[in-house]
C-alpha cells in the first residue's frame, strides 16, 4: 500500500507561501503544483489498491463457488458471487449498473475468473488520467485437494461453530465456518487434545484455553454447500407408513422397518434396536430416542422431511449406523428436507461410547447441540457434517474422518477429501 506522510509537505508549503522575501511567493506557487499533484496521485493509487483487494477477494469467492457448482451453472453462480461482493461502484447512484466486467472460463475441472474495472480517479483526472485500469484473476479446481469434514453454513451468526473440548477432538480434514461475524464466527474453549488439518473461518475467531493448532485462518473465502442441488430422497407426497406418532416401549431386542413415519417415532425402552436397510422418513414429528439401548443399522438413511421433524437423542443410546453404499444418495446417512429451508431446527444428539455415524450428515437448516461422552466415530470409515450451526461439547473422543479405502466407494463428491474445491491461482 502506498503511504504518504503529508505533514512535511504541508509545513514546507506553508512556509513558502508566507515568505515575504525575494520571489519566494511566486516560487512557492510553482512548487505547490507538483506537491499537490504528488499527493493526489498517492491518494488515487491507495484507493485503487483498496478496490483491487476487494475485487481479488470477490474473484476468489466466485471461482470457488463456480467450481463447487454443478456442471453448466458455473457462469451463473460465479456472476452471482461477484455481484454480491462488488455490487455497483457508482457512489452517486448505487442502483446504476457496475463499471466492472468479468469473464468466466471453464476448462475440464478448473474455473477461472477475470474481473476488470476502469477505476475512476478523484484527483488524477485533472491531469488527464480519468481512470486507472484494474485487473484481477482467480482460478479454482474441483475434484482436487481436501474439503472440510465439517462445514458450517450460517452466514452471520455469532458462535456458528462452538466447540467446548475437555478431552479429544480429531478432525482429519478440517473445519469450514461460513459465518462472517466480526468477533465470534468460531468460538472454542479447549482444555484437551485438538487436531485438525485446517480451520477456515470467513469472519473472526475467538479462542480460549490451551494452545490450539492449527490457528484458525480468519477471513477465508465462503464455501458453498456442495449438496445444495441434490434432490430429496423421498417424494413429499409419499404415503405414510404410520399416520400418527409411533412409540416403541418393548423390552428385549426388537427391529424396525423403513418407511414414512408421519407424526414421528419415539423409542422409550428397549435393549437392542435393529434398523433394517432402507430410508426412514420423518414427517411432522421428531425421531426421539429416550433410551440407553444400542441402535444398529446398516445401509440406512434418515430423512427429516420438514421443520417439524428433528432428531432428538435424549438418552445415552449407542448408535452404530452406516449410510447406503449405492444409489443417488449413497454415502448420505442423514438428509434434511428443503421444506425446512427458512428455519433453524433444533437437533439434540447425545452419544455414548462406541457410537459411530458412517457417512455424511447433511442437515443444512439445523442448529445442533451435540454432547459426546466416550468415543464417537472411532470405527467409522468416513464421517462428515454439513449443518447451519453446531455446538459441540466433548468429554470423550470425537473423530471426523476423511474417507478410508472402505469409505471412498460411497462418499459424495465434494465432501471430506473426496473432491472439494480449492484455489490454485
Q: Which tens digits make up the pLDDT trace of 102-159? A: 899 888 678 899 999 888 888 777 777 788 899 999 998 765 434 689 999 999 999 9
Instruction: Output the pLDDT for position 420.
Output: 55
Per-residue pLDDT of 68-78, as tens digits, reads 766 677 888 88
Instruction: Output the pLDDT for position 211.
Output: 76
Per-residue pLDDT of 165-206, as tens digits, reads 999 999 998 999 999 999 999 999 999 999 998 899 999 999
Higher pLDDT, 351 or 141: 351
- 383 with 377: CB under 8 angstroms? yes
Q: What is the mean pLDDT of the chain?
A: 84
Q: Is the pLDDT of residue 321 over 60?
A: yes
Residue 99 — very low, low, confident or very high, per pLDDT cuts 50/70/90?
confident
Per-residue pLDDT of 201-233, as tens digits, reads 999 999 987 778 889 999 998 888 888 889 999
Q: Which of 163, 213, 211, 158 is nearest to 188 (CA)?
A: 163
Give the alpha-carbon dihedral of 20, 26, 27, 33, to 10 degrees.
130
- 157 with 186: CB under 8 angstroms? no
Distance CA 369, CA 186 (A): 15
Of the chain, the percentage scoring pLDDT greater than 90 comes to 47
- 369 with 346: CB under 8 angstroms? yes
Those residues with Cβ within 8 angstroms of residue 243's Cβ, 6 or more apart along the chain or in another chain: 262, 263
Of the chain, the percentage scoring pLDDT greater than 70 comes to 82
- 69 with 144: CB under 8 angstroms? no
Delimit the domains of the chain by residue range: 7-142, 150-416
Higher pLDDT, 15 or 262: 262
Per-residue pLDDT of 242-300, as tens digits, reads 999 999 887 788 899 999 999 999 998 777 899 999 999 999 999 999 888 889 999 99
Amino acid at each position: 500500500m502506498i503511504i504518504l506522510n503529508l505533514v512535511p509537505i504541508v509545513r514546507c508549503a506553508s512556509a513558502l507561501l508566507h515568505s515575504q522575501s525575494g520571489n519566494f511567493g511566486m516560487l512557492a506557487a510553482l512548487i505547490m503544483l507538483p506537491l499537490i499533484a504528488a499527493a493526489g496521485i498517492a491518494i488515487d493509487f491507495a484507493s485503487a489498491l483498496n478496490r483491487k483487494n476487494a475485487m481479488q477477494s470477490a474473484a476468489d469467492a466466485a471461482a470457488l463457488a463456480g467450481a463447487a457448482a454443478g456442471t453448466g451453472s458455473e457462469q451463473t453462480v460465479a456472476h452471482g458471487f461477484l455481484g454480491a461482493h462488488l455490487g455497483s461502484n457508482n457512489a452517486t447512484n448505487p442502483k446504476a449498473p457496475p463499471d466492472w466486467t468479468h469473464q468466466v472460463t471453464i476448462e475440464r475441472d478448473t474455473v477461472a475468473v477475470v474481473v476488470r474495472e476502469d477505476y475512476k480517479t478523484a484527483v488524477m483526472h485533472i491531469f488527464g488520467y480519468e481512470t486507472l485500469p484494474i485487473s484481477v484473476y482467480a482460478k479454482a479446481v474441483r475434484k482436487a485437494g481436501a474439503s472440510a469434514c465439517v462445514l458450517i453454513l450460517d452466514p452471520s451468526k455469532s458462535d456458528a461453530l462452538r466447540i467446548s473440548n475437555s478431552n479429544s477432538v480429531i478432525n482429519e480434514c478440517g473445519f469450514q465456518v461460513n459465518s462472517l461475524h466480526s468477533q465470534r464466527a468460531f468460538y472454542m474453549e479447549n482444555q484437551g487434545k485438538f487436531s485438525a488439518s485446517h480451520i477456515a473461518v470467513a469472519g473472526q475467531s475467538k479462542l480460549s484455553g490451551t494452545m490450539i493448532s492449527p490457528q484458525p485462518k480468519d477471513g477465508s473465502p465462503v464455501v458453498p454447500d456442495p449438496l445444495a442441488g441434490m434432490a430429496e430422497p423421498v417424494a413429499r407426497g409419499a404415503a405414510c407408513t404410520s399416520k400418527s406418532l409411533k412409540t416403541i416401549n418393548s423390552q428385549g431386542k426388537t427391529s424396525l422397518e423403513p418407511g414414512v413415519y408421519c407424526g414421528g417415532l419415539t423409542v422409550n425402552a428397549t435393549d437392542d434396536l435393529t434398523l433394517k436397510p432402507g430410508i426412514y422418513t420423518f414427517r411432522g414429528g421428531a425421531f426421539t430416542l429416550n433410551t440407553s439401548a444400542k441402535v444398529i443399522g446398516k445401509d440406512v438413511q434418515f430423512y427429516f422431511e420438514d421443520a417439524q421433524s428433528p432428531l432428538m437423542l435424549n438418552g445415552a443410546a449407542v448408535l452404530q449406523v452406516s449410510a447406503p453404499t449405492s444409489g443417488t444418495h449413497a454415502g448420505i446417512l442423514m438428509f434434511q428436507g428443503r421444506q425446512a429451508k427458512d428455519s433453524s431446527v433444533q437437533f439434540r444428539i447425545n452419544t455414548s461410547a462406541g457410537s459411530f455415524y458412517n457417512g455424511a450428515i447433511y442437515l443444512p437448516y439445523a442448529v445442533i447441540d451435540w454432547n459426546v461422552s466416550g468415543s464417537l466415530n472411532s470405527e467409522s470409515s468416513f464421517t462428515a457434517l454439513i449443518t447451519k450451526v453446531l455446538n459441540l461439547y466433548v468429554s470423550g473422543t470425537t473423530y471426523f474422518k476423511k474417507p478410508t479405502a472402505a469409505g471412498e466407494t460411497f462418499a459424495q463428491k465434494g465432501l471430506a477429501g473426496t473432491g472439494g474445491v480449492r484455489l490454485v491461482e
